[in-house]
Amino acid sequence: MSCFRLQPAPAQEAALAEHCAHARYVWNLAVEQHAHWKPGRKNAPGFAEQCRQLTEARAASSWLAAGSVVVQQQALKDFAQAIANFFGGTHRRPTWRKRGRSEGFRIVAVKTGDVRRLSRNTGEVKIPKVGWVRFRWSRAVPDGVKSYRVTRDRAGRWHVAFAAVPAPIPAPGAGQVVGVDRGVAVSAALSTGELLNVRGLRDTEKARLRRLLRKLARAKRGSRRRARVKTAVARLKAREADRRKDWVEKTSTDLARRFDVIAVEDLKIRDMTRTAKGTRDAPGRNVRQKAGLNRGILAAGWGRLVRRLEHKAPGRVHKVNPRHTSQTCNACKHVARESRESQALFLCVACGHRDNADVNAAKNMRDTAAGHAVTARGGLPLGGPVNREPQPGLPSAA
């Protein structure tokens, strides 16, 4: 997807919001029809039947008829694909869409000339029943795009994303393997010794966010003041998310270009970030500490980093069993919990090997991936150099 920042006029912004409302309304109707379906009962209506029902609904509702049928039919088509993914076991069941969340709609069958460039930094896209809407031309628009999606985030920013599958990044062909250990204190530690961190909010921005959250807690529900504070909070959160996405894109591209095989831990992030609140009968323990850990994991972009690596380097990402990777000495392979002196220091109790704890874990993952019979893109066997640094008292790796 190639995403661009839309710059709609006030009247156009109202029309885009109306399209979002129509798409959300149609999607929620489809969710309601499938919510009561169970195996053995009459089949829920499919895409063709829902399109027929949409025609009847547009004839009965002037509000729905005033919208674009392309937007509404595409919402049904997206839902049909979401249901197919759910039954295929690749995605979760489609859920309700709420106002202010997941706002957007899709346009298909884009014609030649529906996207044009006005100047060096400005372009226009043609949206049904809205007209030409300007967007910031920050990169080249992919050729031959057939669809695009318009979205609005919680900060009130509009974006347009053109559907295009970029070509994967070719492997360098040097046979190099790298291990990537993801953490909270250090976002990503490489087996080369590099420590990478996501650039989040600055201290002044964090202080402002705390003040805004206190104001939000005191504001009356439904008031204009509360709406303004919520928008200000959303803008800060969006700034943090943008920086995280930027870091993930740059880091994943750099790793895909430098290394033939990238080893990461096979972590179940959804299970790791579950709440510890428990139930009324069995309340959890250390709930606040667990909530802080969950926020740290999500802020580090663990899942997004691996997904983007798999997109940019398909077939070159090796997922390693995380068991004992942080307790195993990379020099002598001795496993002991006591070797993990602290969050940052690894001091082997058997051989005295000393290293950064995250880097030591990344080296273990690198060695595990290098030990498998994997062939990089370009046909170079990975039995060659594995980028292993010499250890004190041990012969260097060939």
Q: 96 and 204 share a domain? A: no
Active-site residue set: 181, 265, 358
pLDDT digits 0-9 by tens, 200-234: 999 999 999 999 999 999 999 989 999 999 999 99
Q: Which domain holds residue 25?
A: 2-162
The predicted model scores a pTM of 0.81
Helices (H) and strands (E) in the chain, counts: 10, 14
Given 133, 162, 191, the domain boundary residue is: 162
> Is 380 a residue whose pLDDT tops 70?
no
392 falls within a domain: no
Q: What is the pLDDT of residue 241?
A: 93
Tokens of 16: 């885009």
> Is 377 a residue whose pLDDT tops 60?
no
Q: Model confidence at 376, in pLDDT bands (50, 70, 90)?
A: very low
Q: Model confidence at 372, in pLDDT bands (50, 70, 90)?
A: low
Q: What is the pLDDT of residue 244?
A: 94
Percent of the chain with pLDDT over 70: 91
Q: 198 and 293 share a domain? A: yes
Helices (H), the chain: 10-35, 47-60, 62-65, 69-87, 203-218, 224-258, 269-272, 287-299, 302-312, 357-370
Q: What is the pLDDT of residue 225?
A: 94
38 falls within a domain: yes
Q: 304 and 352 share a domain? A: yes
66 falls within a domain: yes
188 falls within a domain: yes
> Is 383 a residue whose pLDDT tops 70?
no
> By the 8 A CB rule, do 27 and 75 touch?
yes
> Is 89 a residue whose pLDDT tops 60?
yes
Q: What is the pLDDT of residue 253?
A: 95
Percent of the chain with pLDDT over 90: 65
Q: 21 and 82 share a domain? A: yes
Q: 200 and 349 share a domain? A: yes
Q: What is the pLDDT of residue 43?
A: 73
> Is 395 a residue whose pLDDT tops 60?
no
Q: 254 and 338 share a domain? A: yes
Rounded to the nearest 10 degrees, how much is the dihedral formed by the CA atoms of 193, 199, 203, 208? -160
pLDDT digits 0-9 by tens, 291-315: 888 888 888 888 999 999 999 999 9
Q: 205 and 338 share a domain? A: yes
DSSP-derived pairing of the beta strands 317-320 and 261-265: parallel
390 falls within a domain: no
Q: What is the pLDDT of residue 42?
A: 66
Q: 117 and 189 share a domain? A: no
Q: Model confidence at 40, in pLDDT bands (50, 70, 90)?
A: low
User: What is the average per-residue pLDDT within 268-281?
Assistant: 79
Q: What is the pLDDT of residue 349?
A: 92
User: What is the average per-residue pLDDT within 67-71?
Assistant: 94
Q: Which residue has the tokens 């041990």?
A: 394
User: What is the average per-residue pLDDT within 3-21?
Assistant: 95
Tokens of 57: 């609904």
Q: 256 and 307 share a domain? A: yes
Domain count, the chain: 2
375 falls within a domain: no
Q: Model confidence at 120, in pLDDT bands (50, 70, 90)?
A: very high
Q: What is the pLDDT of residue 384?
A: 40
Q: What is the pLDDT of residue 381?
A: 43
> Is 267 a residue whose pLDDT tops 70?
yes
CB burial readout 132-154, b (16+ within 10 A) else e: ebbbebeeebeeeeeebbbbbbb
> Is 385 a residue whose pLDDT tops 50?
no
310 falls within a domain: yes
384 falls within a domain: no
Q: What is the pLDDT of residue 388?
A: 37
Given 115, 139, 162, the domain boundary residue is: 162
What rounded mean pLDDT belongs to the chain? 87
Q: What is the pLDDT of residue 41?
A: 59
Tokens of 165: 């599958």
Low-confidence winner among 18-27, 198-207, 275-284, 318-327 (lowest mean pLDDT): 275-284
Q: 227 and 146 share a domain? A: no
Q: 214 and 262 share a domain? A: yes
Q: 358 and 292 share a domain? A: yes
